[in-house]
Amino acid sequence: MNYTKYSKAFAVLATATLLTVAVTGCSKDSASTTKQETANWTGKITIWDGPRWEEAGNKYAWIESQKKAFETSHPGVTVEIVQVPWAELNDKLGVSIAGKAWPDLAPVDISGNGVNAAFLKQKVLEPIDEYVTADDKKDFLPNALDAYTQDGKLYGLPGGMTVHGMLLNLDIFKERNVEPPKDGKWTWDEFVDDMKKLTYDKDGDGKVDVYGLSTYVKNGYYESWPFLYMDGGRPVSDDLKTFTFDSKEATGAMKKLADLKTIPVAPKEMGSGDVGGTWKAFSAQKNVAVEPWATWAIQAAQKANMKNFMVAAYPTGSGKPVTIGGVGGWMMFHQDDAGKKKVIADLMKQLTSTEQQVVTAKNYSVFPSRKSAADQNPFADNPQMQQAQKLTETAVMMPKQADWKKIDEAIQSQLQLVLNGEKSPEDAMKEAKKTADELLSK
């Protein structure tokens, strides 16, 4: 090999360049960690956010406007926005924690459930009690604040609340001469009767093409769960020590839901994990008359030109009327600098202020978590959100159990098999109980 002196020089240069890039690329932003124990901290805050409502073709317009406002009110502070699709947010946070490269501030998806137990266990969340006044705390709805409270410490600020409700395509109801439920309430028997009428062969080819109901089953999503609660069944006991989804009330409700496919008033796909396909069937293909969704879907349906729809409650069984609620908001990740911590808390408060909660409620189909924002009646001109708001009275939150994600997976994976007709509810929940009991007895 006869290398010229130029090629040797090039190799040296290439190596040197790579080393320089590696070293500088991996170093921390030293400017952002200046040790100032005061509110005069300056530097960069990294915030993650998912797409929200669209303004001039931009789904990040709201967070960008917040960045501008905050940089104006805090000279010397720059806010860097990292756009993350909601579906990837939790995984991306997990990866960032593994690499000790977490953001300063990140949201919990609005259909999420407040503070993340795995993050707490890893001590990567900052408690923020010292930055929230007692008056401020009083303005938040207690159950919203409770979602971010663990062991008496507050780990986040709720930006909004959501609830699951049934979306009804009133065009199909009209087409089939079916009266929508009065005041959005129906019993299980009334519901099944209506679903039968709404299931039909639209094009006359002898095959059913429009079904009454469809939903999906997927880890971390609870659209189908209020059905399972209707006779009083719950996944775990109030003291979070016993698995109770194997009770007669729960398995009976599971059977009722699964049987909808055999009547049939629900398509064969009901119970799969296909979120997008389920939504498309309702909003675009319009071959399902009723689907349960979290409230974000109200705004999505309005944007999808579904003018004629309403929100109703889940059908009631022998238990009390019930639905499942969720809380979304902002969490601060581990900080070494007290000055920076205070500035991040300021930004959290700005993002969850009364004014911003009204804006978010109007545009993003979430209920304010502040009483002062709810008092401003943000849904005055949104009948569907008004209907959904009534459901909040019956909303319950998911259990705040440290290993909930694993218990949830154990239940959801078995629930898929129940809805597929592959397993009886009793056998399925017996299987889920094995995992759940192990985790609950820790």
Partner 1 sequence: MSSPQATEELTKTQLDAKATPPAIRRKSLLREMWKQRAAYLFLLPKGILFTAFVLIPVIWAFVLAFQEYGVFGSEWVGFKNFKSVADSEAFRTALWNTLKYTVVTVPLQVLIALVLATLISPLGRRAQSFFRGAFYLPTVTSMVIIAMVWRWVYNYRYGLFNYVLGFLGVPAQDWLNQSNTALWALIIMSVLIPPGVGVIMYLAAMDSIPDSLYEAAKIDGASEVQRWWRITVPLLKPTTLYLTMLSLIGSFQVFTQILLMTGGGPGHATETLVSLIYKTAFRDLEFGLASAQAIVLFVITLIFGIAQYWLMYRKAED
For partner 1, give the closer residue by CB, 349 or 405. 405
172-180, 193-201, 353-361, 411-419 -> range binding partner 1 (CB under 8 A): 411-419
The reply on whether position 88 binds partner 1 by CB under 8 A is no
- Write down the least CB distance from residue 280 to partner 1, Å: 11
Residue from 12, 39, 263, 284 touching partner 1 (CB under 8 A): that is 12
CA distance 301 to 309: 8
Residue from 335, 376, 420, 424 touching partner 1 (CB under 8 A): that is 420
Structural tokens at position 264 = 């049939």
CA distance 400 to 150: 9
343 by DSSP, 3-state: which? helix
* Furthest CA-CA distance within the chain: 89
CA distance 190 to 317: 11
* Residue 143 near residue 164, CB atoms below 8 Å: no
**Phi, psi (rounded to 5 degrees) for 311:** -110, 130
Window 21 to 60, contacts with partner 1 (CB under 8 A): 22
29-37, 115-123, 158-166, 184-192 -> range binding partner 1 (CB under 8 A): 115-123
Residue from 47, 52, 414, 429 touching partner 1 (CB under 8 A): that is 414
CA distance 176 to 192: 15
395 by DSSP, 3-state: which? strand
Residue from 32, 272, 360, 389 touching partner 1 (CB under 8 A): that is 272
Q: What is the bridge-based pairing of β-strands 323-332 and 105-108?
A: antiparallel
Residue from 405, 424, 426, 427 touching partner 1 (CB under 8 A): that is 405
- Write down the least CB distance from residue 13 to partner 1, Å: 10
* Residue 411 near residue 425, CB atoms below 8 Å: no
18-26, 137-145, 149-157, 194-202 -> range binding partner 1 (CB under 8 A): 18-26
Binding residues for partner 1, rule CB under 8 A, total 44
Q: What is the DSSP string of 15-83?
A: HHHHHHHHHHHHS--GGGG----STT--EEEEEEE---S-BTTBTTHHHHHHHHHHHHHSTTEEEEEEE
Residue from 8, 174, 241, 303 touching partner 1 (CB under 8 A): that is 8
Site track for partner 1 across 89-108, x = CB under 8 A: -xx--xx-xx-x--------
For residue 350, give the amino acid letter.
Answer: Q
- Write down the least CB distance from residue 416 to partner 1, Å: 4
Site track for partner 1 across 182-221, x = CB under 8 A: ------------------------------------xx--
- Write down the least CB distance from residue 275 to partner 1, Å: 10
Residue with tokens 């020590």: 241
Residue from 35, 68, 121, 303 touching partner 1 (CB under 8 A): that is 121
Instruction: Return left, alpha or beta for 230; rule: phi > 0 is left, psi -120 to 50 is alpha, else beta.
Output: alpha
13-21, 40-48, 138-146, 169-177 -> range binding partner 1 (CB under 8 A): 13-21
For partner 1, give the closer residue by CB, 218 or 341. 218
CA distance 342 to 183: 47
- Write down the least CB distance from residue 391 to partner 1, Å: 28
- Pick from 221, 157, 128, 143: which is nearest to 400 by CA? 143
Residue from 29, 201, 355, 422 touching partner 1 (CB under 8 A): that is 422
- Write down the least CB distance from residue 224 to partner 1, Å: 14
| DSSP code of residue 312 | E
| DSSP code of residue 352 | T
29-37, 120-128, 294-302, 391-399 -> range binding partner 1 (CB under 8 A): 120-128
The reply on whether position 286 binds partner 1 by CB under 8 A is no
- Pick from 63, 52, 80, 36: which is nearest to 296 by CA? 52
Non-local (6+) Cβ contacts of 47 within 8 A are 63, 67, 79, 80, 81, 82, 103, 104, 105, 106, 347
The reply on whether position 268 binds partner 1 by CB under 8 A is yes
121-129, 226-234, 235-243, 250-258 -> range binding partner 1 (CB under 8 A): 121-129
For partner 1, give the closer residue by CB, 298 or 419. 419
- Pick from 351, 344, 372: which is nearest to 131 by CA? 344
Which residues would be at the binding site for partner 1 (CB under 8 A)? 1, 3, 7-8, 11-12, 14-15, 18-19, 22, 90-91, 94-95, 97-98, 100, 118-119, 121-124, 218-219, 267-269, 271-274, 277, 334, 405-406, 413-414, 416-417, 420, 422, 434
